[in-house]
Each structure stands twice: as C-alpha cells, then as structure tokens.
Structure 1
C-alpha cells in the first residue's frame, strides 16, 4: 500500500514539474481573484503565498536554491 502511495506522489511530482508554468499562471490568477474578493486587504499575504508556492514548484527539480526566483 505504501508503495502505491509513493508511486502516486512520484507521478504527481512529475506532472507538477512538467506543467509548472501553467500551475504558476493558475496560482497568479487564483491570487488575483482572492485579492479582489477581499478588497485588497490581504494583498501582501496573498502575494507572499503565491510566490512561495511558485518557488516550491521551481525547486521540485532539485536545481533551484532557496530564494531563487523562477524565470518569468
């Protein structure tokens, strides 16, 4: 059972690597929607969360260093 979960996690990671640009774009759009719905009250927090999520995606390949920014 745990091997199946590991395989599923590996597949999810591979898909995230392959589609990181699309996922990053989606994160930006979701952040914009949330920011709009909250009338900009939490803009800094939303932007920080989106950037951290994008950094996580960028570092999935193991090549990125902490604090590196993905190419836009």
Structure 2
C-alpha cells in the first residue's frame, strides 16, 4: 500500500478536518511569505480540495 493510499484511508470520514487543515496550511504559508504567494496558495488549496472530493467519489464543485 502506497503512502497516498494510507493518507486517503486515514482521511475518510474526516473531510471537514482535512479541509480545515488545508486552510490552516495555506494561512501558515501566506503568513511566512507575507502574502507574496497567496494566489498560488489559493490555487493549490482548490486543487487539494478538488482531489479530495474526487477520491471520495464526489464530482468536483464548480
């Protein structure tokens, strides 16, 4: 079992906590870079959320 499979398995049932973690990580990076890369972080956060929904069997939200 790959590391990604293990992570996906651990996140099942904890989607809201994972979503909060994504927000917290993005805020942390924004704080450390003084918002210099906030646009890129927003894109990365959106991609992570989209991937989580896809892995859960839900279509991406548009």
TM-score, with structure 2 as normaliser: 0.79
Q: CA RMSD in A?
A: 2.0
Moved over 4 A (4+): none
- Per the alignment, residue 15 of structure 1 pairs with 10
How big is the shift at 1:63?
2.7
* Structure 2 unmatched runs, 5+: none
- Pairing 1:34-53 to 2, within 5 Å after superposition: 34-53=29-48
Larger Rg: 1
How big is the shift at 1:15?
2.7
- Pairing 1:23-38 to 2, within 5 Å after superposition: 23-38=18-33
How many matched pairs?
A: 61
- Does 2:56 match 1:64? no
TM-score, with structure 1 as normaliser: 0.70
